[in-house]
Amino acid sequence: MEERVPEIWVFGDYRNYFQNRVTLQLLSRATDLAAQLHASVCATVFGHQVDEWVGEYIAHGAKKIYVVEDESLKDYSTDLYVTLMERLAREYTPEIILVGATTFGREFAPRVAKRLGTGLTADCVGLDINKDGLLVQTAPAFGGNLLARIITPEKRPQMATVRPGIFQEIPHNYQATGEVVMIPLPDDLPRDRVRLISSERKPPTIQKLEDAAVVVCGGRGMAGKNKFRNLYELARLLGGEVGATRPVVYSKWADDEALVGQADKHIRPKVLFSFGISGAIQHTAGIIDAGFIIAVNKNPNAAMMKMADVAITADANQVCLALVKELKKRLRG
Amino acid sequence: MKHKMVRKTVREFSEAELGPIAHEMDRDARFPWEVVEKMRPLNFFGLQVPKEYGGADLDSISYSIVVEEISRVSGAMGLCVTVHNSVGIYPILRFGTDEQKKRFVPRLASGECIGAFCLTEANAGSDASGVETHAVSLGDGYIINGTKIFVTNGGVCSLPLIFAVTNAADSARSAGVFILESDMAGYSVGEIEDLCGMRANPVSSLFFEDCRVPQENLLGKVGDGIKIALATLDTGRIGIAAQAVGIAQAAFEASVKYSKERQQFRKPIAAFQSIQNMLADMATEIDAARLLVYRVCALKDAGKPFGKEAAMAKLYSSTVSSSVTGRAVQIHGGYGYSKEYDVERYFRDAKVTEIYEGTSEIQRLVISRSVLNELT
Amino acid sequence: MIRMIVCIKQVPMASELPWDAKTGTLKRELADGMMNPACKHALEAALTLKSRYGGNVAAITMGPPMAEEILREAIAMGADRCLMLSDPAMAGADTLVTSYTLAKAIEIFSPDFDLILTGCHTTDSETAQVGPQLAEELDIPVLTYVDSMDLKDNTIRIKRLSDNFLETLEADLPCLVTVNTQHFQPRYVTLSGLQDAFEDHNILTVSASDLALDPASIGINGSPTRIIDVYAPRAEKENIVLKGAPKKIVEELFDRFESRIGGVIKKDLKREG
């Protein structure tokens, strides 16, 4: 009997195609993993009028696509897709199934795993093959404070949902070819128990502070409402937004909208200036995803100073004013 | 497990609702009505009140934990809650008629009305016999005239208890405690005191000018005043001791955190033995104070006499609180002296715990009397 | 009148926990525990539905003995009864086996229910898997990340945001929903509620044998996934300290980090001249 090539399957999550690139990212990683396992990269696509996605997935690394196409599948239905995936997996026995950790994926994947009686690791930030040929799934815990490496030693397929943005997609290859396997819709599919009443695409909300690439945050160390206002000038010059800590908002030096913290807005700027902030956990929990952090505080031991890439020990207000002055000079030229 | 959960629940509430504004409350001497609004349905104003009057019916240790945890975040609010519960409601529960309990306790337990106990006057601090506020009997009621000073919750209370004498010549045997309502004619509130600490608590004078009080508002009978006042103070001391422990705990936690972060001589200052010794002493003293509070709670709930033990708890906790907060400022160095850090507030708040509800000197009097009177 | 079950979990109050390589589990006993925030939202949702439609709320948890705290808290918030699943054999369970164990307990102790509510995910393992897997085990429909719920006759209608799609979905009861933390702000526990939760209630505790569960099929032994290692990711901050006069500091900042800052604001910040 011919030895079957093991298959790594990537679920085709094509909704929101242009913002959601996770399927392509997974196809890229699957290609790396397949090389180590001498396996082949496949994708699954369920839906209606899906040729575009089939083409995209082949161009981005899939060598085989399992397609179930029917008008009844035109909107995502978790119930139907779970059953389809279960049946396909039982018939074709993939070694690994990868699903993007979108809201859909995070419900879809566990249900498939349960039906197949196998293990699933959620929201992975790493996928590797170890010396025993097992998929090592790296997943965050405690908000990313800890990472766990997990394996599924016996049950198959090995399954993982993967966080979008972790892997890089392979550039579009117009020459790529792949096999398309059309699977007819089973006629004994159970009725979908969840009825879709309405679905509308929400326009992406403008979240100025949460999406800003540069944020200037100020705390009690700015000493007063008028001095705090200087931060707005700095933010304007940097093309960024102003954030504030809770005491500042309570003292009405800034609006509620500016509140950054654990229970408020979480920001992910590439550059964060932090003025006169001590670094209480209620605030810092909102900035853990910040990139380059410059903190200014009279007190060199403030927790915020320890978290920063650059810690400036000086009066926050004076540094703010000096920054504004220097920026104006350099931007003029 | 229950006590642990009480601590967790109150800590969570205090940190979320009072934590962010504690500094500003103290700076502006602002009483946080918006937080009081949230505290009302959670039984903070009826901690040991029986269920039938709308209270939580907590045991005394749970009560102390509540006061300690609020005080750990805001000494001023901890003060409001303990004074309201202990000296504001307790006398009515202990000495009131059923009719009085039904009439007044639910309104206090729900937080609709805030209570207070008014004893101190210009000439009557430690020496209660100097009280001049007098109540003249009219047959169906009394007319009260006088001034009470340094009334905790003065600016916000609406059902305060007033200690007054009916016969100036024999104040000890003619004193009575009267339940007043703030909307009575002749009742007015003086200016809020500008105090060193506990600034968010509106401490003020209360003026009574020909204030007419109905007979039904007299607690017990004329002559019961001293007895009620002493029993009330004994109970009140438990809450003040718990409050002092909470403030000391906050200062201690801040000191531990700071000493791990602050680096001098290329090490965190927590690596130096003099800081370690200070922290060790602070931890031990706070623990001892807390256990003294729990001990008197156990006695009280068992129905045993607890006057001496209450005085001991109050004396020791307040002394420890002042001392621990002082050391906390010291550990923080120059930064501890600045309002940028909370320790200077704990330091200012702690001091008064040695003064009100019986000065430390009075506590020593109570304890020594008890010790000297003990049967040998 | 709706009969509801809320599955809640106790998670550590710490932001990280040491992992015991010998047992392959986190050392939960080292930190204080709290009710997982999303679970609390689920409980609040159940209590809200109870006050709207009438009914009762049962809270279930699987955990070590210290997890009893969150059941007491649930009662203090308004749950009517509780069930504690506790057995050393259940420890180290991954989501497949947790959902299996919970399902067995529900089938035995509370088989007549209309709605099961769970939090969307926990702050420790963050898998968001137990809800959907429990629904599969019980063979009932599942609706995840719900923002709002309405009940009518024997159906539930929910609204949620899923991958930029605002969806309104409906299912017949019995059904399971997972609740996110955007809505259903949990009420504070009243102190009288807490007092009653300890004085007036007995918590039923069951072990693996009470549920007729084979130890090999639960806990770490029954879990298809295995944690092989837990570690803290390296902190990468260099923490460069700048001191001195503000003017000098600022010049140094822009000179040294011109590309890092300039690259992001897409402007040239080099010193002129």
Residue B204 has φ and ψ, to the nearest 5°, of: -150, 175
Is C232 domain-assigned?
A: no
- Report how far Cα A67 is from the mean position of its chain's Cα atoms: 26
User: Chain B residues with CB inside 8 Å of C195's CB?
Assistant: 2, 56-58, 62
Cross-chain Cβ contact A197/C168 below 8 Å: yes
Closest chain B residue by Cα to residue A221: B340
User: Chain A residues with CB inside 8 Å of B261's CB?
Assistant: 301-303, 306
CATH 3.40.50.620-classified regions of chain A: 7-183
Q: Token pair of B349, please? A: 């708040």
Residues 259-278 of A with CB under 8 A from C: 270-271
- Is the pLDDT at C22 greater than 80? The verdict is no
- Is the pLDDT at A127 greater than 70? The verdict is yes
Which one, of A147, A154, A38, A44, lies nearest residue A100 by Cα? A44
Task: Say whether residue A220 is in contact with chain B using an 8 A CB cutoff.
Answer: yes
Do A120 and C99 touch, CB atoms closer than 8 A?
A: no
pLDDT tens, residue by residue, C162-179: 888 889 999 999 999 999
Cross-chain Cβ contact C191/B38 below 8 Å: no
Q: Token pair of A155, please? A: 């049950």
- The CATH class of A208-332 is alpha beta
Domain ranges of chain B: 2-109, 115-223, 226-373
Q: Tell whether C160 and C71 lie within a shared domain.
A: yes
Mutate to test the interface with C, among A158, A312, A327 (most CBs of C within 10 A): A312
Question: 3-class secondary structure for B223-267?
Answer: CCHHHHHHHHHHHHHHHHHHHHHHHHHHHHHHHHHHHHHCEECCE
DSSP-derived 3-state class of residue C34: strand
- The CATH class of B2-109 is mainly alpha
Q: Tell whether C99 and C68 lie within a shared domain.
A: yes
Closest chain B residue by Cα to residue A302: B261
Closest chain A residue by Cα to residue C224: A119
Task: Say whether residue B253 is in contact with chain A using an 8 A CB cutoff.
Answer: no
CATH 3.40.50.1220-classified regions of chain A: 208-332
Question: 3-class secondary structure for B35-81?
Answer: HHHHHHHHCCCCCCCCHHHCCCCCCHHHHHHHHHHHHHHCHHHHHHH
Q: Tell whether C141 and C241 lie within a shared domain.
A: no
Q: What fold does the segment set B226-373 form as a domain?
A: Butyryl-CoA Dehydrogenase, subunit A; domain 3 (1.20.140)
Closest chain A residue by Cα to residue B15: A282
Residues 202-241 of B with CB under 8 A from A: none
Which one, of B204, A98, B56, lies nearest residue C190 by Cα? B56
**Which pLDDT value is given to residue A246?**
84
Sheet containing strand C155-162, strands side by side: A194-201, C165-172, C155-162, C148-152
Query: How crowded is residue A129: how many other Cβ atoms within 10 Å of its Cβ?
Result: 17
Cross-chain Cβ contact B2/C68 below 8 Å: no
Residue-by-residue DSSP string for C76-122: HHT-SEEEEE--GGGTT--HHHHHHHHHHHHHHH----SEEEEES--
Q: Percentage of chain C with pLDDT > 70?
A: 96
ipTM computed for the complex: 0.88
pLDDT tens, residue by residue, B71-84: 999 999 999 999 99
Burial call A231-260: b when 16+ CB within 10 Å, e when fewer: bebbbebbebbbbbbbbbbbbebbeeebbb
DSSP-derived 3-state class of residue A46: strand
Burial call B215-240: b when 16+ CB within 10 Å, e when fewer: eebbbbebebbbebbebbbbbbbbbb
Q: How confident is the model at residue C235 (pLDDT cuts 50, 70, 90)?
A: low
Quote the DSSP letter at residue B201: S
Mutate to test the interface with B, among C75, C185, C194 (most CBs of B within 10 A): C194
Chain A closest-CA separation from residue B340 CA (Å): 8
Strand-pair partners of A181: A66
Domain A7-183 indexed as CATH 3.90.1330.10? no
Do A110 and C132 touch, CB atoms closer than 8 A?
A: yes
pLDDT tens, residue by residue, B259-310: 988 888 988 999 999 999 999 999 999 999 999 999 999 999 999 999 999 9
DSSP-derived 3-state class of residue A132: coil
Find the mean pLDDT for residues C4-23.
81
Find the mean pLDDT for residues A245-258.
86
- Is the pLDDT at A112 greater than 90? The verdict is yes
Residue A41 has φ and ψ, to the nearest 5°, of: -90, 125
Strand-strand pairing, A271-275 and B141-151? unpaired
Please state whether B371 falls in left (phi above 0), alpha (psi between -120 and 50) or beta: alpha
User: Chain C residues with CB inside 8 Å of A310's CB?
Assistant: 239-242, 253, 257
User: Chain C residues with CB inside 8 Å of B66's CB?
Assistant: 191
Nearest CB to A299; choose among B23, B24, B335: B335
User: Chain A residues with CB inside 8 Å of B335's CB?
Assistant: 299
Residue C244 belongs to what domain range?
A: 237-273
pLDDT tens, residue by residue, B94-107: 999 999 999 999 99
Cross-chain Cβ contact A301/B23 below 8 Å: no
Which one, of A193, A192, A252, lies nearest residue A46 by Cα? A192
Cross-chain Cβ contact C72/B43 below 8 Å: no
What is the count of structural domains for chain C?
2
Averages of pLDDT over runs of 10 residues in chain B (376 residues) are: 94 92 94 96 96 95 98 97 96 96 96 95 86 91 94 95 90 91 93 95 96 94 92 95 98 94 88 96 98 97 96 98 97 91 96 95 95 84
Q: Containing H/E element for B164?
A: strand B159-165
Fold match between B2-109 and B115-223? Answer: no
- Is the pLDDT at A244 greater than 70? The verdict is yes
**Which pLDDT value is given to residue C212?**
87
CATH of domain B115-223: 2.40.110.10
Strand-pair partners of A127: A137
Q: Tell me what the pLDDT averaged over chain C comes to.
A: 88
Q: Where are the beta strands (DSSP E) in chain C?
A: 2-7, 10-12, 19-20, 25-26, 33-35, 55-62, 81-85, 115-119, 142-146, 148-152, 155-162, 165-172, 175-179, 204-206, 226-231, 240-243
Q: Tell whether C218 and C242 lie within a shared domain.
A: no
